[in-house]
Chains A and B, each alone.
Chain A
Amino acid sequence: MLVRSLATFGCAIALGACSTMGGGDASRSAASSPSSASAADGPYASTYERFPGRPTALVGATVYDGAGQRFDNATVLFRDGEVVEVGQGLATDGYDVIDGTGKFVTPGVIDIHSHLGDYPTPSVQAHSDGNEATSPTTPEVWAEHSVWPQDPGFSRALANGGVTALQILPGSANLTGGRSVTLKNVASRTVQGMKFPGAPYGMKMACGENPKRVYGGRGRMPSTRMGNFAVNRQMWLDAKAYAAGNRSRRDLAKETLAGVLDGDILIHNHCYRADEMALVMDMAKEMGYKVTAFHHAVEAYKIGDLLRENDVCSAVWADWYGFKMESYDGIPENASLLWKAGACVVIHSDDENGIQRLNQEAAKAQAAGRRMGLDIPDAEVIGWITLNPARAMGIDAMTGSLEPGKMADVVLWNGDPLSVYSRPEKVWIDGALLYDALDRKRRPVSDFELGQPGEGDVK
């Protein structure tokens, strides 16, 4: 009962998001628009095409569909890159049957906040490509122009974390950091070969300490939180003037901002403190845009009601706290309290290690809630790392759950994904088997790792 009412509420969020975001619809075509709000069109377009896959039936596993449902002893069918059906006792004629007895199936894990590729390993200065920290507002930069497809971190996220899609964001040195890019976690020689077809662009913004520290430290604006807002507001006023005027004159910064004002580009706003999130939501109203998600929202639990009313997701860690002043009030119950308030919960990583364990992070957040009396079903918790991030990234019509017709982004876990003892056994992206723990050659090894000690190791 509880599940159903929450799931309904989730749909309301999704509809609300879709109606304002728009970009999730693959039928959208904006090829002529210079704001090029989708990765499928415009410059640097996605060249990704799914790899060949076999019609596959996963039989006998426990299935979490990502949309809040659990199926015991179920069958998952997918072929031609798409989910066909999930249910009990389905016919498997024409499918390769994989015995899932004792195992679990979920949609591919999605990380809404990653810097893989733009802060790749090795973490040497020459690879520091995530912050264009030379001006507090750089909406003109695009994260995809920094992504190094050979970052070994992509393979770890796939093999250990079951991550099939992820959003790469610019860093948080700037108030406005630039465009994000959503990727399929598929090894490619080019970033275009990883770009998620039809995914809308996002734009990174940041509250609080980082921008004022970076620029205040150089004796320039902003050096305070009030300075943060002043710079942002002026940026939006200038963008509104541009958007209302003649857009034919190319201006990279303004094109991205106009895309936000048009509702085509989604705002992902790094923001820790509750009071600042409330101010940002008002700034969005003042300027006529929408915040899709607050990231690192460690104090979101203080304003779950406001976040619900404003239809803003909170992307959070399970337990990070106290590593900087604005994270001092982080508590492990954050995600569960948001859930209780009926607000949208996403578990994110912002970390090349954490992205390998988003399932465990979700489980920790769930357990913290359980200890304070909030019993959140496992099937909903899986949604925190699958369908909810997909919604906030505007790709939920294509992936994030195992509903028929969606991309066959699927993880077969060797045990309960909410247990520390479980790992992905197989991972499919668009129906193609791209990781198999039982086949040592079925794992990506980046160019960087060839000829190095540990090439092709289990990692």
Chain B
Amino acid sequence: MMRRALLGTAAALALAAPAFAQDFTITNATVATGDGSEPVENATVVVRDGRVVAAGTGVSAPAGAEVIDGTGKWVTPGIFSAVTDLGLSDVDGVSESNDEAAGNSPFSAALDASRALNPNSQDVLVARADGITRASVYSRPSASIFGGQGAVIDLGADPEMVTRTRAFQVVDLGETGARISGGSRTSAHALLRNALREAQQYGDRAAIGAATARPSETRFGDDVPLDPRLDGRDGERAGDVLLTRFDAAALVPVVRGEQPLYVVAERAADIREVLKLKRDFPRLDLILLGASEGWLAADAIAAAGVPVIADPLDDLPTGFDQLAATQSNIGRMRDAGVTVAIGRMSGGTGEQPRNARQYAGNLVALTRLPGATGLTWGEALATITSIPAQIAGFGGRLGTLASGATADLVIWDGDPLEVGSAAEAVFIDGIRQPTDNHQTRLRERYRDLDESDLPKAYDW
């Protein structure tokens, strides 16, 4: 009965296609705020002007706003998919449609993922229907150890996906980076250090002042100032440079610590080398990607204050750089005091972004296995909501139901970390989102196989 009412609302809203935030209150739901705390039953969530006003028990519904009965439902922040490919391809295996890596590009660090985003990609639509509301996306290192500049995006049904462009830079210092760079980790490190030196010198000569370099805490959007040389002026530099001026300019905010540097590394030894970068480049804002052997270097990672975006369930020695991979990795790093998010889920196979919920649930399952280290339910939800948002630079504003946070939230038909549960209503910026896509249309067409009147092609 409840479900019918909700679906009815959804259909009406989808038809109306609202481009504005609604004021509404969800009552009697099981609510988890995403901050690591456990879910609370019989709670209320109040949304006004696209922001969360309050979430919890003892919250009263303001008069006049729409009330959604959440009895039997769960409410959480929208899922934040950290370091994914959403919007960068239509079909992974169809190279014409795929902008996930620029394998033949003459540029590297200057590549800007925000230029290639397609909000109509079915991957985006499918992820949105499953409650993914924000993501950080990047171009995978391919021709160079640098992947380029990643973006923070929303998955809302509107033309503008970008929440923050040039939000981070990506470099691979693992096995892949070593092969790309010339066949050895030695080369990858030399390339990176040379690039950062060049950027440092280039930045010293930059026309932009330091005062403008720090993004405003409250601004969304294009926060990292644009080096004027990205416009094509002032291309002169001293000899002995490897980077194009675009690439060098793109790395200026990295070496200044104004733009985070996401570093791919799995092996414990590789992780320790990454942490040492801070000795030579103390302003680097490092974030580790992968870190399958992070548990072997967890104390060092914690001491360095470097957050990790981890592959959640790796437990096989896929390469010699992750011989010690275990599903307990994230729990052990958490125990050591490391800030850990789940990430790098992409494509359409087992690690497709919508399965992040399932993977987080698996981390909870570990708490019931002797010898394994898992996460509490609240912690597991945080790895796919507040923590990735915080790492992306949006702590307290995205991935949480804290007062004042952007109203990205999902009403689920049950425990969102359980494999049988699904999103019933998805809000981004307080706007109820359509959840139809290629898959739902196929499902409706093939509910039955009856073609007694007309071919299936007429069933739409």
A residues sitting closer than 8 Å to B (CB atoms) are 121-124, 152-153, 156, 160, 209, 301-305, 317, 319-325, 327-333, 337, 341, 351-354, 356-357, 360, 363-364, 366-367, 370-372, 414-415, 418-423, 437-438, 440, 448-449, 452-454, 457-459
A360 touches B358 (CB 8 A): yes
Stretch from B67-75, B336-344, B366-374, B389-397 at the A interface: B366-374
Extra contacts, 17 of them, besides A331-B442, A363-B420, A458-B369 (Cβ < 8 A), are A122-B320, A160-B327, A302-B456, A322-B92, A323-B93, A325-B93, A328-B122, A329-B438, A330-B439, A341-B449, A360-B358, A414-B369, A420-B365, A437-B370, A454-B325, A454-B326, A458-B327
Q: Which residues does chain B contribute within 8 Å of A332, judged by CB atoms?
A: 439
Given contacts A301-B446, A320-B352, A367-B422, whether A352 and B316 have CB atoms under 8 Å apart is: yes
Determine chain B's interface SS by DSSP, over half rule.
Answer: loop
Given contacts A325-B91, A328-B91, A337-B446, whether A367 and B419 have CB atoms under 8 Å apart is: yes
Q: In whole angstroms, what is the CA distance A438 to B347 when docked?
A: 36
Q: Which residues does chain B contribute within 8 Å of A317, judged by CB atoms?
A: 349-350
Given contacts A323-B92, A366-B420, whether A440 and B371 have CB atoms under 8 Å apart is: yes
Given contacts A123-B318, A324-B94, whether A453 and B323 have CB atoms under 8 Å apart is: yes
User: A331's contact among B324, B349, B420, B439, by CB below 8 Å, is which?
Assistant: B439
Given contacts A322-B91, A453-B296, whether A448 and B348 have CB atoms under 8 Å apart is: no
Given contacts A324-B94, A452-B317, whether A370 and B420 have CB atoms under 8 Å apart is: yes
Q: How far is the CB of A331 from the nearest CB of chain B, in Å?
A: 5
Q: How far is the CB of A414 from the nearest CB of chain B, in Å?
A: 6
* Complex: chain B residue closest to A321, CB-CB: B348
Q: Which residues does chain B contribute within 8 Å of A459, judged by CB atoms?
A: 315, 325-327
B315 touches A160 (CB 8 A): yes
Q: Which residues does chain B contribute within 8 Å of A419, judged by CB atoms?
A: 418-420
Q: Which residues does chain B contribute within 8 Å of A331, judged by CB atoms?
A: 439, 442-443
The 9 listed contacts between A and B (C-beta, < 8 Å) are: A121-B316, A323-B92, A323-B348, A324-B91, A324-B93, A329-B438, A353-B316, A454-B323, A458-B327
B313 touches A458 (CB 8 A): no
Residues of B296-334 at the interface with A, using a CB-CB cut-off of 8 Å, are: 296, 313, 315-320, 323-328
Q: Which residues does chain A contribute within 8 Å of B126, judged by CB atoms?
A: 321-322
Q: In whole angstroms, what is the CA distance A440 to B446 when docked?
A: 48
Q: Which residues does chain A contribute within 8 Å of B114, judged by CB atoms?
A: none
Q: How many pairs, one residue from A and one from B, have CB atoms within 8 Å of each other in the complex?
A: 167
Q: In whole angstroms, what is the CA distance A332 to B129 when docked?
A: 13
Q: How far is the CB of B299 from the nearest CB of chain A, in Å?
A: 15
A437 touches B348 (CB 8 A): no
Q: In whole angstroms, what is the CA distance A438 to B350 when docked?
A: 29
Q: How far is the CB of B175 from the nearest CB of chain A, in Å?
A: 10
Q: Does B142 contact A (CB under 8 A)?
A: no
Q: How far is the CB of B330 from the nearest CB of chain A, in Å?
A: 13
Q: Which residues does chain A contribute within 8 Å of B296, judged by CB atoms?
A: 453
A423 touches B365 (CB 8 A): yes
Q: Which residues does chain B contribute within 8 Å of A414, judged by CB atoms?
A: 368-369
Most B C-beta atoms less than 10 A away, residue of A160, A341, A452, A457 = A457
Given contacts A302-B446, A337-B446, whether A452 and B439 have CB atoms under 8 Å apart is: no
Given contacts A452-B317, A457-B326, whether A364 and B358 have CB atoms under 8 Å apart is: yes
Q: Which residues does chain A contribute within 8 Å of B421, judged by CB atoms?
A: 367
* Complex: chain A residue closest to B444, CB-CB: A372
A322 touches B348 (CB 8 A): yes
Number of chain B residues whose Cβ lies closer than 8 Å to a Cβ of chain A:
58
Q: Which residues does chain B contribute within 8 Å of A322, judged by CB atoms?
A: 90-92, 122-123, 126, 348
Q: Does B364 contact A (CB under 8 A)?
A: yes
* Complex: chain A residue closest to B313, CB-CB: A353
Q: Which residues does chain B contribute within 8 Å of A305, judged by CB atoms?
A: 449
Q: In whole angstroms, what is the CA distance A448 to B362 when docked?
A: 26
A320 touches B317 (CB 8 A): no
Q: How far is the CB of B192 from the nearest CB of chain A, in Å?
A: 25
Q: In whole angstroms, what is the CA distance A86 to B354 when docked?
A: 38
* Complex: chain A residue closest to B448, CB-CB: A340
Given contacts A304-B449, A423-B365, whether A156 and B122 have CB atoms under 8 Å apart is: no
Q: In whole angstroms, what is the CA distance A16 to B420 when docked?
A: 33
Most B C-beta atoms less than 10 A away, residue of A330, A357, A438, A453 = A453
Q: In whole angstroms, what is the CA distance A372 to B370 when docked?
A: 38
Q: Which residues does chain B contribute within 8 Å of A323, judged by CB atoms?
A: 91-93, 347-349
* Complex: chain A residue closest to B97, CB-CB: A325
Q: Does B287 contact A (CB under 8 A)?
A: no
Q: In whole angstroms, what is the CA distance A454 to B413 when docked?
A: 39
Q: Does B145 contact A (CB under 8 A)?
A: no
B317 touches A121 (CB 8 A): yes
Q: Does B117 contact A (CB under 8 A)?
A: no
Q: Does B252 contact A (CB under 8 A)?
A: no
* Complex: chain B residue closest to A373, CB-CB: B447
Q: How far is the CB of B242 from the nearest CB of chain A, in Å?
A: 29
Q: In whole angstroms, what is the CA distance A333 to B354 when docked?
A: 15
Q: Which residues does chain B contribute within 8 Å of A453, judged by CB atoms?
A: 268, 293, 296, 323-324
User: A422's contact among B92, B323, B350, B365, by CB below 8 Å, is which?
Assistant: B365
Q: How far is the CB of A217 from the nearest CB of chain B, in Å?
A: 13
Q: In whole angstroms, what is the CA distance A329 to B456 when docked?
A: 15
Given contacts A367-B419, A372-B447, whether A351 and B315 have CB atoms under 8 Å apart is: no
B361 touches A421 (CB 8 A): yes
Q: In whole angstroms, what is the CA distance A422 to B313 when docked?
A: 15
Q: In whole angstroms, what is the CA distance A419 to B421 when docked?
A: 10
A324 touches B369 (CB 8 A): no
A420 touches B361 (CB 8 A): yes
* Complex: chain B residue closest to A457, CB-CB: B326
Q: In whole angstroms, what is the CA distance A367 to B415 when docked?
A: 13
Q: In whole angstroms, what is the CA distance A152 to B92 when docked?
A: 28
* Complex: chain A residue closest to B442, CB-CB: A331
Q: How far is the CB of B109 from the nearest CB of chain A, in Å?
A: 28
Most B C-beta atoms less than 10 A away, residue of A327, A353, A418 = A353
Q: In whole angstroms, what is the CA distance A367 to B130 when docked?
A: 13
B443 touches A351 (CB 8 A): no
Q: Which residues does chain B contribute within 8 Å of A457, judged by CB atoms?
A: 324, 326, 328
Q: Does B417 contact A (CB under 8 A)?
A: yes
* Complex: chain A residue closest to B418, CB-CB: A420
A351 touches B419 (CB 8 A): no
Interface string of B83-116 (1 = CB under 8 A from A): 0000000111110000000000000000000000
Given contacts A325-B91, A328-B91, A457-B324, whether A364 and B317 have CB atoms under 8 Å apart is: no
Q: Which residues does chain A contribute within 8 Å of B420, judged by CB atoms?
A: 363-364, 366-367, 370, 418-419
B315 touches A156 (CB 8 A): yes
* Complex: chain A residue closest to B450, CB-CB: A305
Q: In whole angstroms, what is the CA distance A457 to B417 when docked?
A: 25
Q: Which residues does chain B contribute within 8 Å of A353, judged by CB atoms?
A: 313, 316, 350-351
User: A320's contact among B313, B325, B348, by CB below 8 Å, is which?
Assistant: B348
Q: How far is the CB of A43 from the nearest CB of chain B, in Å?
A: 31
* Complex: chain A residue closest to B361, CB-CB: A420
Q: How far is the CB of B435 from the nearest CB of chain A, in Å?
A: 12
